[in-house]
Amino acid sequence: MSKLQVPETRGARILVVGDVMLDRYWFGEVNRISPEAPVPVVHVARSEERPGGAANVARNAVTLGAQCSLLTVVGNDEPAQALERLLDQAGVTAHLHRDASLATTIKLRVIGRQQQLLRIDFENTPDREVLHEKLADYRALLPQHDVVVLSDYGKGGLAHVQEMIRIAREAGKPVLVDPKGEDYARYSGASLLTPNRSELRQVVGRWRDDADLETRAQALRQELALDALLVTRSEEGMSLFRADGTVHEGTRAQEVFDVSGAGDTVIATLAVMLAAGCDLVQAMRLSNHAAGIVVGKLGTATVSLDELRHSLAA
């Protein structure tokens, strides 16, 4: 097997569409239990905000050297302003459709002693008219990009996912989808789906062994007319299912600190490396290295090209 190298990524152009959120972190010390209820009291010392969901995919793509546009729906509120500012700082070209009836999704995590103690979610679903406007923008943006990523977090931002896949494939653009839920028929015709182990299990049921997994995964790939299916399997690494066979990539040995956002890093790395000229197996192997790096970081995080090169050299 030839030595894996990071390609030149500056010319890669990625279009990310999907559900975004603002990840807020409250960090503090826990020194006592509340007298009101058997819960820890967190004395908050600092807070952080980071782009989450599809916004984290876009941020990961830029950190890997690519040019990235993000198309999404947000509320007309303070969290949307915070997201816009963070995306601008990250170098993402953001196309944010505002929906006054929508509360921008927030995931608030309370961290004590480097452990997540609580997560509080604020969310609702966007108005259909705003989603239809987004589809017109999608058509306009598509010719300027090499690879499309559809990041589905089940928040309603991909109501037209089937049409988006069809339009992109007719234009000759690869479409990578990070799926959600049990109805994978809506992703029919995509180039690649990237479910994790538990997400795939929801759709194809429990498998007995690797041979049974391959049978079920290949049946799903054929049923949905996918070019490939990439299953991220945590400590078991990754498995890529294609018409010409299956490729397994073992996990990278590392201390796992936080898996939140790892799927965003995987699909962003795949998209950037494919746009930079890698084949799918090379892109998978590079994304596996990226995943091994990002799970060692707290919260939604990114991987730099230097970190990736260092991992490859290790």
Closest to 23 (Cα-Cα) out of 52, 44, 45: 52
Q: Return phi, psi of residue 111, to 5°.
A: -115, 125
Closest to 294 (Cα-Cα) out of 115, 59, 120: 59
How many other CB atoms are found less than 10 A from the CB of residue 42?
19
| Cβ pair 22, 51 in contact under 8 A | yes
d(CA 162, CA 175): 11
Cβ-proximal residues to 208 (8 Å cutoff; 6+ apart), any chain:
none
d(CA 28, CA 49): 15
Task: Please tell me which residue in 210, 264, 279, 306 is annotated as part of the active site.
Answer: 264
264 is catalytic: yes
How many other CB atoms are found less than 10 A from the CB of residue 112?
19
Residues 86, 18, 70, CA angle at the centre, nearest 5°? 45
Hey, which residues are catalytic here?
Answer: 264
